[in-house]
């Protein structure tokens, strides 16, 4: 079967790497892909939101399965576009409908969904310019810190945690009145702060049944010791030592099952990944957020630990047969360290040549590309997050030190990476 994967990050390279290992995968196309995905298949210069371009590709290359990496095309209705088009309707797509993608695309939608299904999440209220004055009163009496969330997609920047009330009031005004995050912050969710440790849990669902993939933890801050600005993710580990069997049982019973049952009961068209952004507070799991896709850089440790044939699992999801599937996990730990451009997450330059990426790595190391491109037979940097180097190990520490060691051999101008991924385990 020919497969089309949509996206261009480290997540997509990890998905491409895993799908390419399947005997069921004939030709693999990636739109638009990066210099790493071009080693797993054929990159095609079609943007992730160019639905007509995607349609032409699906038809011309006889694509039998489409896998969507990022949230944007899902929230914008790629799945609905396929279902409505007679030439595409029979092609399975891994990803939810636009309605289902609101689990990620609208914080207010996801909070209401959790409320309806008694899924533990922080208490909240939602405000727009209509009830702005009420919002100000609400903020004046809300315990600190206060969490403000732009309702819509804001490129991972729409969440503010304010430990000062005046700051919260000023940000609230900026978001609603001055459109700090454009139309995404026309509606703001104000929610209680939860104090705990975070982890990422992933399910693949056919809308009724699901399988759980290995859990992971990502490291969002730029600096060693979880300091400095937030980024798209500087590294990830799997498994997560504090997510033991008893805790994961609670996660399944209190969060995963009620979520999938909720989607099913409400007839929400959802075939694809559900990413549960969780926080463990006093040994209990709470939902911080849902995403309608896999995590990045979590995928770069989840895929290496998944022992199943990924294409088989995805086809089982598309054919509503996930009830018969079970996941096999590599007992080894996996750690990925992300190498970023100097200056990231602020301004940074692109176009630097990357050396050392092509040398043979040992068997327990996999290099995934994120922001890379091919130019004149060289690989150059083309984004903030450039590479994700994943290593296996007996323990997280072991995997982490292999990951760092392997990165030492790779160079580009301004390259930076955290040297402490997994430090607390």
Among 80, 191, 206, 296, binds ligand GLY (CB under 6 A): 296
**Rule CB under 6 A: is residue 191 a binding residue for ligand AMP?**
yes
- Residue placing its CB nearer to ligand GLY in the complex, 200 or 381: 200
In the chain, how many H helices and how many E strands? 13, 22
Residue 295 interaction partner, one of ligand GLY, ligand AMP, none, beta carbon < 5-8 Å per kind: ligand GLY
Calpha distance 72→81 (Å, rounded):
14
**Rule CB under 6 A: is residue 298 a binding residue for ligand GLY?**
yes
Q: Which residues contact 153 (CB under 8 A, 6 or more apart)?
A: 71, 72, 75, 104, 105, 184
**Rule CB under 6 A: is residue 291 a binding residue for ligand GLY?**
yes
Closest by CA to 230, choosing from 242, 246, 245, 219, is 219
**Rule CB under 6 A: is residue 274 a binding residue for ligand AMP?**
no
Which residues pair with residue 235 across a beta bridge? 337
**């630990």: which residue's tokens?**
305
What's the min distance (Å) between Cβ of 128 and ligand GLY? 25
- Residue placing its CB nearer to ligand AMP in the complex, 369 or 418: 418
Residue 296 interaction partner, one of ligand GLY, ligand AMP, none, beta carbon < 5-8 Å per kind: ligand GLY
**Rule CB under 6 A: is residue 341 a binding residue for ligand GLY?**
no
DSSP class of residue 255 equals I
Radius of gyration of the chain (CA): 21
Residue 191 interaction partner, one of ligand AMP, ligand GLY, none, beta carbon < 5-8 Å per kind: ligand AMP
What's the min distance (Å) between Cβ of 90 and ligand AMP? 35
Among 4, 67, 119, 147, binds ligand AMP (CB under 6 A): 147
Residue nearest to ligand AMP (CB): 289
What's the min distance (Å) between Cβ of 175 and ligand AMP? 14
Among 5, 35, 153, 194, binds ligand AMP (CB under 6 A): 194
> What are the two backbone dihedrals, phi and then psi, of residue 327, each rounded to the nearest 5 degrees?
-95, 135
DSSP class of residue 215 equals P
- Residue placing its CB nearer to ligand GLY in the complex, 64 or 214: 214
Calpha distance 112→196 (Å, rounded):
23
Among 288, 294, 340, 367, binds ligand AMP (CB under 6 A): 288
Is beta strand 146-150 parallel, antiparallel or unpaired with respect to 159-162?
Answer: antiparallel
**Rule CB under 6 A: is residue 269 a binding residue for ligand AMP?**
no
Whole-angstrom CA distances from 240 to 199, 214, 363 are 7, 9, 23
Q: In what order do the strands lie in the sheet with 28-32?
A: 42-43, 28-32, 2-7, 63-68, 93-94
Calpha distance 210→344 (Å, rounded):
37
**Rule CB under 6 A: is residue 345 a binding residue for ligand GLY?**
no
**Rule CB under 6 A: is residue 159 a binding residue for ligand AMP?**
yes
Binding site for ligand GLY (CB under 6 A): 218, 233, 291, 295-296, 298
What does the binding site for ligand AMP look like in residue numbers (CB under 6 A)? 122, 147, 159, 161, 191, 193-194, 198, 277, 288-289
């Amino acid at each position: 079967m020919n497969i089309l994967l949509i996206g261009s990050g480290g997540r997509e390279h990890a998905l491409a790497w895993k799908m390419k290992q399947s005997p069921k995968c004939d030709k693999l196309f990636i739109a638009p892909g990066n210099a790493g995905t071009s080693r797993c298949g054929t990159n095609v210069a079609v943007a992730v939101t160019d639905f007509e371009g995607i349609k032409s590709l699906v038809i011309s290359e006889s694509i039998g399965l489409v896998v969507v990496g990022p949230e944007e095309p899902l929230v914008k209705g790629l799945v609905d576009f396929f279902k409505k088009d007679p030439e595409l309707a029979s092609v399975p797509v891994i990803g939810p409908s636009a309605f289902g993608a609101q689990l990620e695309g609208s914080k207010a939608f996801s909070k209401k969904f959790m409320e309806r299904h008694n899924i533990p999440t922080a208490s909240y209220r939602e405000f727009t310019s209509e009830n702005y004055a009420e919002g100000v009163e609400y903020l004046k009496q809300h315990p600190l810190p206060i969490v403000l969330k732009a309702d819509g997609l804001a490129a991972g920047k729409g969440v503010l945690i304010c430990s000062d009330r005046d700051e919260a009031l000023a940000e609230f005004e900026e978001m609603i009145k001055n459109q700090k995050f454009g139309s995404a912050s026309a509606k703001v969710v104000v929610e209680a702060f939860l104090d705990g440790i975070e982890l990422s849990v992933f399910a693949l669902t056919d809308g009724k049944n699901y399988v759980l993939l290995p859990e992971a933890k990502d490291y969002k801050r730029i600096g060693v010791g979880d300091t400095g600005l937030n980024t798209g993710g500087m590294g990830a580990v799997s498994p997560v030592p504090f997510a033991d069997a008893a805790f994961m049982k609670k996660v399944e019973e209190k969060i995963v099952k009620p979520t999938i049952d909720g989607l099913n009961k409400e007839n929400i068209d959802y075939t694809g990944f559900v990413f549960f952004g969780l926080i463990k507070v006093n040994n209990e799991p709470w939902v911080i957020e849902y995403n309608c896709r896999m995590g990045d850089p979590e995928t770069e440790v989840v895929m290496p630990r998944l022992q199943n044939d990924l294409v088989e699992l995805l086809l089982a999801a598309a054919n509503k047969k996930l009830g018969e599937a079970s996941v096999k996990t590599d007992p080894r730990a996996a750690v990925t360290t992300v190498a970023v451009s100097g200056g990231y997450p602020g301004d940074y330059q692109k176009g630097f040549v990357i050396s050392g990426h092509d040398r043979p790595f040992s068997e327990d190391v996999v290099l995934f590309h994120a922001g890379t491109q091919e130019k004149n037979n060289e690989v150059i940097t083309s984004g903030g997050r450039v590479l994700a180097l994943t290593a296996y190990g007996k323990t997280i520490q072991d995997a982490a030190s292999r990951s760092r060691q392997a990165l030492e051999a790779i160079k580009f101008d301004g390259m930076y990476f955290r040297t402490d991924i997994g430090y607390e385990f």
